[in-house]
């Protein structure tokens, strides 16, 4: 029974299920073939899934991946119980992610080309900017997949708590910083000593970099707790 539970836990992930079914269909695939078929932009994520699959996989004399005896049992399980998992279907977040990424990538690309044609950046900077934008989308996809499909519910909750606390700390710092700048500008407009003058700037540093982030972090944690730490990547009801 424990062996079956372990197998089910491994195959619960759609990517790992798809790897098993691909190898069952193709008999053998190289590392590069798996990368291209699965559409991975980074090797790190594929390496992770291959490591989790463990003894379900083996290698033939050509160094290609094949199913082990236990892997063939896993493939048989997936085919006999297709409703247990749908590896061919994309996760729910997939469509929203790529729509958002497409809009953001389009905006970045247009901005880069505009700057290039008006002479603000050269061709080398343009090329680096385009490559960086594409790699950033790939990295963001990897992070989304790990946060939503790979991590356990407990780890997702832990990350959600950190996110709420960090957001509160950042808002605490930002509100103090921009508030002080605004008040200082008001004093300066009246010909008075700016709020951030050297003579009284020490308290501002303590307030903005210590007190405000701590208070903001506590408020962020409290507010997140009221919302059961729900985030775009963590849904306590899912």
Contacts of 158 (CB under 8 A, 6+ apart): none
- List Cβ<8 Å contacts ≥24 apart for 150-158: 150/13, 150/48, 156/233, 156/234, 157/229, 157/234, 157/236
Judge whether residue 197 has pLDDT over 60. Answer: no
Residue 210 sits in the same domain as residue 161:
yes
Mean pLDDT, residues 65-92 taken together: 71
Give the pLDDT confidence of 170-192 residue by residue, as tens digits: 999 988 888 777 776 776 677 66
| Paired tokens of 55 | 């003894």
236 belongs to a structural domain: no
DSSP label at residue 54: G
Q: Which position has the higher pLDDT, 189 or 84?
A: 189
- Residue 58 CA to residue 212 CA, distance in Å, equals 55
Residue 118 sits in the same domain as residue 170:
no
Rg (CA), the chain: 25
Residue 157 sits in the same domain as residue 215:
yes
Residue 173 sits in the same domain as residue 140:
no
Judge whether residue 108 has pLDDT over 80. Answer: yes
CB–CB of 144/233 below 8 Å?
Answer: yes
The domain boundary, picked from 150, 172, 189, lies at 150
Per the rule left: phi > 0, alpha: psi between -120 and 50, beta: everything else, 211 is: alpha
173 belongs to a structural domain: yes
The domain boundary, picked from 122, 150, 178, lies at 150
Mean pLDDT, residues 43-51 taken together: 84
Residue with tokens 């996809």: 141
Out of 2-6, 33-37, 194-198, least confident range? 194-198
Q: Helix, strand, coil: what percent of the chain each, to 5?
A: 75, 5, 20
Residue 169 sits in the same domain as residue 181:
yes
Residue 159 sits in the same domain as residue 130:
no
Most confident of 26-30, 72-76, 168-172: 168-172
39 belongs to a structural domain: yes
3-class SS at 200? coil
CATH classification at residue 59: 1.10.10.10
99 belongs to a structural domain: yes
103 belongs to a structural domain: yes
Contacts of 211 (CB under 8 A, 6+ apart): none
Q: What are phi and psi of 66, to 5 degrees?
A: -135, 170
DSSP label at residue 30: -
pTM across the whole model: 0.52
Q: Which domain holds residue 122?
A: 93-150
59 belongs to a structural domain: yes
233 belongs to a structural domain: no
- Residue 63 CA to residue 65 CA, distance in Å, equals 7
Residue 174 sits in the same domain as residue 146:
no
Residue 68 sits in the same domain as residue 134:
no
Give the pLDDT confidence of 147-168 residue by residue, as tens digits: 776 777 778 888 999 999 999 9
Domain total in the chain? 3
Residue 144 sits in the same domain as residue 159:
no
Mean pLDDT, residues 124-139 taken together: 88
50 belongs to a structural domain: yes
Q: What confidence score (pLDDT) does residue 86 get?
A: 47
């Amino acid at each position: 029974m424990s062996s079956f539970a372990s197998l089910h836990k491994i195959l619960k992930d759609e990517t790992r299920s798809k790897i098993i079914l691909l190898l069952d269909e193709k008999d053998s695939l190289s590392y590069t073939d798996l990368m291209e078929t699965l559409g991975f932009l980074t090797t790190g994520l594929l390496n992770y899934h291959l490591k989790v699959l463990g003894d379900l996989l083996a290698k033939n004399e050509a160094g290609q991946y094949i199913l082990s005896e236990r892997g063939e049992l896993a493939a048989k399980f997936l085919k006999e119980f297709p409703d247990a998992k749908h590896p061919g279907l994309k996760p729910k977040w997939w469509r929203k992610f790529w729509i958002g990424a497409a809009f953001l990538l389009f905006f970045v690309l247009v901005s880069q080309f505009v700057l290039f044609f008006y002479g603000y950046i050269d061709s080398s900077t343009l090329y680096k900017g385009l490559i960086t934008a594409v790699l950033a989308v790939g990295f963001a996809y990897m992070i989304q997949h790990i946060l939503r499909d790979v991590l356990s519910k407990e780890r997702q909750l832990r990350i959600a708590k950190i996110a709420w606390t960090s957001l509160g700390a950042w808002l605490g710092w930002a509100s103090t910083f921009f508030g002080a700048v605004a008040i200082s500008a008001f004093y300066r407009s009246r010909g008075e000593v700016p709020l951030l003058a050297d003579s009284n700037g020490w308290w501002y540093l303590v307030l903005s970099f210590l007190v405000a982030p701590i208070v903001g972090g506590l408020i962020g944690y409290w507010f997140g707790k009221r919302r059961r730490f729900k985030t775009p990547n963590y849904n306590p009801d899912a």
